[in-house]
Structures are given as structure tokens and as C-alpha cells.
Amino acid sequence: MSRATKRKAVNPIKEQNPSTVFQEHVVKNLGAHNALVSEYDYEQKERPTPCWKKDMNIPQWLLITLVSLGVVVFTAFALFAAVVTLQKQTNGGPCQSNSDCRQDLGLICNNYRCGCAYSHFWSDTYQVCERRRMINRTCVNDSMCDALGSLQCSNVTLSSGVVQLQCQCEAAMSWNGYACAYQGLYNASCTQDSNCDTTRFLYCNFVVGGYCRCNTSMFWNGNMNSGTCEYKRTVNQYCYPYDNNWCDDTGPVGQGLTCASYTNPYGSEYGVCQCSANQYYNGSASLANGFCVAQHVYNQSCTSTSQCDYRINLTCSNNLCTCSSGYNYNPSINSSGVMGFCQPASGYLQNCTAILTCSTSQNLYCDFSYYNGSNTTGVCECNSSWSYWDGTTCASKLSIGGLCTSNTNCISSDGLFCSNYTQSLGTCDCDSSHYWNGTCSLKLWYNVSCTSSYVCDDNRGLQCQGLGGIMFQ
């Protein structure tokens, strides 16, 4: 067998029948003497056509018959289903089982009556069971709201001012995200104000760690299980049980009151709202328009004794805080942490010394000459040059016309004496030979210039006459 010759390069051929291409290739490149040629028939195969693509030669009369029969069957079934459904009970109808009710409307048999499930309500508008509505959804009555969530249909005022019925929590309950929960009472833990019973005026106080508390102007008047927040009591109102929280103690804006023991008809365990020991209420108790301020010290202005510091025995006299009659103020004595004290003093005609002084509030002084010049002990007296003892204090001597009981009551240095010429109670006046001209002056004699007969010596029968005001008899 001879060696095969080298193949020439084959150019691409056009698309032809495979059998033809193969035969031409063999003839051109192989010698006839060493080629074994076999011929086969090539069968062209095609995919089978699906049945639905094949032409179905169904007679027209048969097709019409089948379609008509299908319509009749469907209509009969629909009518049967409708008849069966319409025979079932609607909302409120009697039943023995769920199948007796219009389940297509969401009805079930409950206590032998067709009705909606507990989670649904019957809609008169749509004649079907609807899901009960959740928080803030509109409603007409309570049955439309989710009873499992304790919601009820309530009036709600919108931001526009319009009042609308909405599903809301019952009183003393708040929405926790999925249901209404009872709001906490005093001192219950909370994370927001709605967790606390707002009908009792509680709010969530985050300053104390998140607990339901009253605001600063109110107090809790009960125990952990009952009570409410109440506005704090004002001055002279009772408090219980000696609890300062009951009183308006929120100074300086508040009144600064404390609960003090007090005899009252409510019982010994009750107190009364008052200012502390060294304070007084500077407003009207009936109007509650004041607050507690520090009491005034010696010689400060006042309108009542309650404004003066009682710890040092001060009283209000002539609109000044001073010692009461029979007491002297000693600024060197420390009384209850306060410098100064009103100590007892000697009264009128009582003995006095350098230590036991006379009552300065009565204007007394110690007359050491009373006991023959003794310089250690004297007697408390009034200064006779300008005062007299009126029974309670050394009063200033009286000028012309002052009512008097003795000559010592009148200013003798002005020539006055106690005259009772015309009435039982005397008056300070000049004697009959004098007239009042700022002091008692001697009445004028005959032929002296005058302005009225009052200045003329009427004891001599003189009176003021003539153009020049010359006295004549």
C-alpha cells in the first residue's frame, strides 16, 4: 500500500447536503485504489407534533353541544350553591352549628345564634363581619372596637377642634402598643406619662428614676392602692399625719409651709400648715396670696406681733417690733441663736440698779437720789420735766387744753396747771391772771395796746376798745 500524499488546504465550503460534501471530499483526496466506500441512506427525522397543535377535526355540532352542556352544568351548580347559601341564617338567626350560618359573611354559631366571632363585629353598612378596630380608628359604638384590647368608642377632640368618635382605652388605662393596660398608681414604675393614672393627676417623674408621682404643686392624699393627687394645703389648713408634703412647701415660688402640731377638731394625729418657728405668713390666709418670710428683729417695722421674732419676746407696738411693757431689750443676750432678748425690767416706783434697769418701753429712769443720794439703788420714775405717770407708762406732759387729773399732768414750765373751773375733769390752762400765748403770759393792764379782750386783765374789768386797740374800763 503506497503512502498517502499530503493534503491540500481545504477552503470553506458553502452549506450543502452532508452526503454530497462527503462524497466529493473522498473522491478528491483519496485514491480509488485504497478507498473503501460505503453508501447509506440518510433519513430526515422530524419532532412529533403535540396533540394540541394537530388539527382536530371536531364537528361543529358536537362542539356547540359540549359548550352548551358546560354552561348548563355550571349554571345549575351556581343556582344550587345560591339556594343552599340563601337557606342559611344571617346575623342573629337561629343555628345549631356553624354550617347553619352564612359563613361567607364571616358568621359562626354562638349560643344558638349566628353572629360574628369575638374578634369581629357585624357591619350594618356592608352586611358582613368586620375585624374589630384598633386604637384611634373611627367608630360608632363600643362593639366596633377591639374588646380584647379593652378599647371603647369615645369622643376625641381633634387638633382642628372637631369632636370625633374613636376607639380609645377606658378610663385609668393606657395603650401599651398592643392593648390597653391599667395605668399605674402612686410610686408605680413607668417609662412615659401614659403609664400613670392621669385621672389621678399622676405623671412619670424621670428625675426620681421613672415613677408615677404628683407634680410639685400637689401631694398624694392616700396609700399605694388608693388616693389621688391634690393641690397642696395653704396656711391654717389641716395636714395628716404631720406630713410636710401636704402643705405648700415649694418655696420660694410656693408658700414654704410645714405641718405643725395643733389642737383641732380632726384629732390629735392631724396638724395644721404653718410657717416655721422663726417665720410669719406675709399674706391673707383666706386668699392664700402670701408666703413665709423671716420674722422681724428688734426695732424693725411691723403691722402685727406675729411678724416680730417671738424667740426674743418682741411685740408690735406703734408699728415697730419692740419689747412689751415692763421689759427692756438687751442686745448682748443670745437667745435661741439670735442675739438680743427682751428681759424683765423694773416698773414704776420699783427699785432699780445698774443691772436691774427700769423699763425703757415705759420711759422710766432710775432716780438714784430717791434714797438720800445712794448711788447703787434707786427708784424708777418718770422724768418730771416732760412726763408723768399715766398708770401704764411715762406720758408726755400736756399742753393747753389737755385733759388732766392733777397739776403734774400739765407742762408747769409753761405756767400751766390742771384747772377744773368748768367741769369735773380738769384741763391744762393758765391761771386767771395769765393768757395763753405759747406760754402763760401776764394779762395786759390799762391803756396798753391790745388785739382782743382775751389778753386784757378781766380781773380788773378791762377790755380791748377803741381804734388803736387801747384797753379801757
- What digits encode the pLDDT tens for the residues 62-100? 778 878 888 877 776 666 666 666 678 889 899 999 989
Reported confidence tier of residue 305, pLDDT bands at 50, 70, 90: very high
Res. 210: pLDDT tops 90: yes
Grid coordinates of 82: 345560591
Query: Grid coordinates representing 450?
Result: 391790745
Question: And the C-alpha cell for 42?
Answer: 440518510
Other Cβ atoms closer than 10 A to 64: 10
- CA 274, CA 235: separation in Å to the nearest integer? 6
Distance in angstroms (rounded) separating the CA atoms of residues 261 and 256:
16
pLDDT at 313 over 50: yes
What share of the chain in percent tops pLDDT 70?
81
What confidence score (pLDDT) does residue 21 get? 59
- Torsion sign, CA atoms 53, 54, 60, 62: negative
213: β partners: 203
Reported as a pLDDT band with limits 50, 70 and 90, residue 209 is very high
pTM: 0.47
Query: What three-state secondary structure class fits 131?
Result: strand
- Chain CA centroid to CA 2, Å: 124
Element (H, E) at 116: strand 113-116
| Residue 446 exposure: Cα atoms within 13 Å on the Cβ side | 5
Q: Quickly list DSSP for 416-458.
A: -EEE-SSSSSEEEE--TTEEESSSEEEPB-TT-B-SSGGGB-G
Query: What confidence tier does 6 reach under pLDDT thresholds 50, 70, 90?
Result: low
Give kind and range of the element (H or E) at residue 311: none
Determine the Cα–Cα distance for residues 101 and 81; give it in Å rounded to an integer.
Answer: 14
For the chain, give every domain's residue range: 443-473
What whole-number distance in Å separates Cα of residue 177 and Cα of residue 17? 80
Percent of the chain past pLDDT 90, that is, above it, reads: 31
> What does the pLDDT look like over 11-56, one tens digit per residue?
555 666 666 655 665 556 555 555 555 555 555 556 666 655 555 6
Q: Give pLDDT tens digits for 148-195.
A: 888 999 999 999 999 999 999 987 788 888 888 888 899 999 988 988
> Residue 373 — pLDDT band, cuts 50, 70, 90?
low
Question: Looking at the DSSP assignment, which residues form a beta bridge with residue 157?
Answer: 163
Distance CA 276, CA 311 (A): 12
Q: Residue 8 and residue 383: Cα distance in Å, rounded? A: 166
How many alpha carbons fall within 13 Å on the CB side of residue 150?
Answer: 15
Distance in angstroms (rounded) separating the CA atoms of residues 450 and 452: 6
Structure confidence at residue 371 (pLDDT): 86
Per-residue pLDDT, 165: 96
Residue 56 to residue 450: CA distance in whole angstroms: 166
How far is Cα 380 from Cα 146, in angstroms, rounded to an integer? 93
- Cα 12 from chain centroid? 102
Inter-residue contact 399 to 390 (CB < 8 Å): no
Tell me how far the alpha carbon of residue 216 is from its chain's centroid: 7
State the pLDDT confidence band at 1, using cuts at 50, 70 and 90.
Answer: very low
The pLDDT value given to residue 2: 46
What's the rounded mean pLDDT across residues 347-365? 88
Q: Is 67 helix (H, G, I), strand (E, B) or coil?
A: helix
Strand pairing partners for 175? 180
Partner residues linked to 464 by β-bridges: 471
Single out the residue of 306, 294, 356 nearest to residue 327, CA to CA.
356
Amino acid at 367: D
What is the mean predicted confidence (pLDDT) over 204-231? 90
